[in-house]
Chain A
């Protein structure tokens, strides 16, 4: 029998039992939809976490701090030593200081980060307003939105305005008790963070206020494969290092388990769908024993009879997959709609919690077809064993 005719015959037969067809299809669709939904959610969470963690070229950077600030200090000499390591591309520094901002008649206590000029690019800092400093900038400020909110003025309006600020250098960074200095600078940028108040200033200010040491160094490798070499050399200098890759590895482990758990939930749906499809195909065979017998009496080849059932299961697989994708898209749209409203209400940025890689879709499609085919194999092979003469016994 020509394939197109066989396909028509199978489709006509499937549609002749519309309700059974619809329920079987729904079961397959829910199984496929839930698997893709759960995996997309898993990948989505992983993507969000990874993206937050690994900004720009974070994987080629190390952070170094003093393991014992009293003994090992992040001094200029230490920075020079690190810069001299052959595999190191550049070093940026940050000094954490306490202080306050004074604007009009308002004063606000705030932590300050006095950073080197190249710190911004290594930290991949993104501004909500204004610009990053250039070489000519002296006594500038980059503040978080929270500072502006606390001062009762919008972030945008503060750009270009002059502000006074006071830096307090603790003894551990080389200052003396009550070592403080006041500056006046121009606000050149704001950072989108409405929950915590902080400000970035030039490291020249910290030095001017009496700081001799830094709190943190960002070390960029020429090649990210050299990170372990640099790490070893930096740690040999008595410093403590942290590397985002360590956290990433931990997270990958976690997400592997997370996906396994999600797959377990999805598998329950798949088993139910397989049982539903198996039941439909077996009942279909029972109802069509006479029809199979007729085909055998007429002289049908075994291939036609086998594919009559195998094709039915494959069609359930294909349609179940397509319907499953539709169910997934509807569920995704509904959840994203809810999140969008929530983000709007909380004045936060919208986050896409789903990520559906093409490989997931391709694997899901192949797996659905394979499972559907395997499910149809038993009724198809049983159909081949039907004895056409059994029909005469029922006559």
Chain B
């Protein structure tokens, strides 16, 4: 039974003068513990797909089943709760609550889940330890480098032990070394059983994922497991 099951998913944004079809007939299955890498040119709909999976957007048509639950049918309040319980996300630019320090920012999902401050901080310390950033516990996130902030972003993503980690261009602002460090961190969480959905432009990370999904013009144009980009997909991506 797939953890995430997407059938005939379409999304059209209605703009004042025209409609923009961002996703068309997406079908995708993600198994529990799978590392899926989604890539494609800018504007191909990768981020919209992640937002639909997170329940931040509602599809125009099609179904998204996560853990046997049709999330598009859930009311906003229940979708938020479902997101809190099952997902963690890392973005290109991490957002922080400026008045909180690193440890408290990591503990934030646990605070939202109703845990006590002491309990949440204890778990946040363990997450910081997992990303080897424990010495920054009392710093303000904005005082850290982009690479350090992304690792803390990962710590926040794993703190509540959510099953699915959604990573949208997490290495986009990082130099090559920091990017590879972050990918190794994601590998670690993949190895301990987390399901990871990673959106990236960087094809050098293909080897980290079990399944690679290529997208173009709102559609999935290929799915493969090899570590090298198949010739057919490369050609299709390069086509105008």
Contact = CB atoms under 8 A, between A and B. Distances in A.
Interface of A: 1-2, 4-5, 8-9, 12-13, 15-16, 290-291, 293-302, 304, 388-389, 391-392, 395
Interface in B44-71: 47, 51, 54, 56-57
Nearest to B82: A299
Interface in B78-133: 80-85, 87, 89, 91-93, 95-100, 108-109, 111-112, 114-117
Given A299-B80, A299-B81, A300-B84, A2 B95 contact: no
A294 B97 contact: yes
A304 B112 contact: yes
A189 B102 CA distance: 81
Contact of B97 (A9, A297, A391, A392): A9
A2 B114 CA distance: 6
B234 interface: no
Given A5-B111, A388-B56, 9 more contacts: A2-B116, A8-B117, A9-B97, A16-B99, A290-B95, A293-B95, A298-B84, A299-B87, A392-B91
6 contacts: A13-B99, A297-B56, A299-B82, A299-B84, A388-B56, A395-B93
Interface residues of B, number: 31
Given A9-B100, A388-B56, A296 B95 contact: no
Contact of B112 (A13, A300, A389): A300
B232 interface: no
Contact of B99 (A2, A12, A290, A301): A12
Contacts of B108: 294-295, 298
Contact of A296 (B47, B80, B85, B117): B80
Contact of A299 (B85, B91, B115, B117): B85
B14 interface: no
A111 to B, nearest CB: 76
A389 B51 CA distance: 8
Contacts of A15: 99
A389 B47 CA distance: 10
Contacts of B116: 2
Contacts of B114: 1-2
Nearest to A6: B111
Contacts of B47: 392
A201 B218 CA distance: 111
Contacts of A304: 112
B168 to A, nearest CB: 8
Contacts, number: 77
A291 B87 contact: no
A258 to B, nearest CB: 46
B112 A395 contact: no
B83 A298 contact: yes
A16 B83 contact: no
Nearest to B156: A298
Determine the main DSSP class of A at the interface with B: helix
Nearest to A391: B95
A12 B95 contact: no
Contacts of B89: 297-298
A291 B95 contact: yes
A277 B93 CA distance: 31
A15 B100 CA distance: 12
B120 to A, nearest CB: 8
Contacts of A388: 56
Contacts of A290: 95
A112 B41 CA distance: 111
A389 B57 contact: yes
Nearest to B95: A294
B15 to A, nearest CB: 13
Nearest to A17: B99
B112 A295 contact: yes
Contacts of A298: 83-84, 89, 108-109, 112
B190 to A, nearest CB: 22
B85 A389 contact: no
B77 interface: yes
A211 to B, nearest CB: 86
A302 B77 CA distance: 7
A9 B82 CA distance: 24
B108 to A, nearest CB: 7
A5 B77 CA distance: 21
A136 B227 CA distance: 125
A295 B105 CA distance: 11
B171 to A, nearest CB: 14
Contacts of B115: 2
B84 A395 contact: no
A343 B133 CA distance: 70
Interface in B143-202: none
Given A296-B80, A299-B81, A300-B84, A291 B112 contact: no
B112 A1 contact: yes
Contacts of B100: 9, 12
A9 B99 contact: yes
Nearest to B101: A12
Contacts of B112: 1, 295, 298-301, 304
Contacts of A391: 95
Contacts of B51: 389
Q: Which of A8, A298, A392 has the most CB of B within 10 A?
A: A298
A15 B117 CA distance: 20
Q: Which of A12, A15, A297 has the most C-beta atoms of chain B within 10 angstroms of its own C-beta?
A: A297
A392 B98 CA distance: 18
Contacts of B84: 298-300
Contact of B92 (A2, A294, A300, A395): A395
A300 B83 CA distance: 9
